[in-house]
Amino acid sequence: MTTAPLTWFKSSYSTDGGQCVEVAADLAASHGVVPVRDSKVQSGPVLALPAKSFSAFVAGIKAGGFPA
């Protein structure tokens, strides 16, 4: 990926229940990836998802495709 620091954030819909992920959109345009990590283990592994796949995942969530 990159050695530059990333700007991590989690959804404003997240609660303090501990079941959250963080994403860094910094690399979507320049590298075509969206890094994703566990918000509880910030020094842990990072998944680099293809930006198009991540966008499709978010669209599916918004459309109700993943019921709770």
Between CA 27 and CA 55 the distance in angstroms is 13
Helix, strand, coil % (nearest 5) of the chain? 30, 20, 50
Task: Report in angstroms the alpha-carbon separations of 42 from 5, 12, 26, 60.
Answer: 13, 18, 17, 26
Give the H or E element holding residue 54: helix 51-62
Q: What's the pLDDT tens digit per position in 1-40? A: 556 789 999 887 777 766 788 999 888 888 999 999 998 8
Q: What's the pLDDT tens digit per position in 37-56? A: 998 888 999 999 999 999 99
10: which residues sit within 8 A by CB, 6+ positions away?
20, 21, 22, 23, 39
Q: What pLDDT does 17 receive?
A: 66
Q: What pLDDT does 60 receive?
A: 93
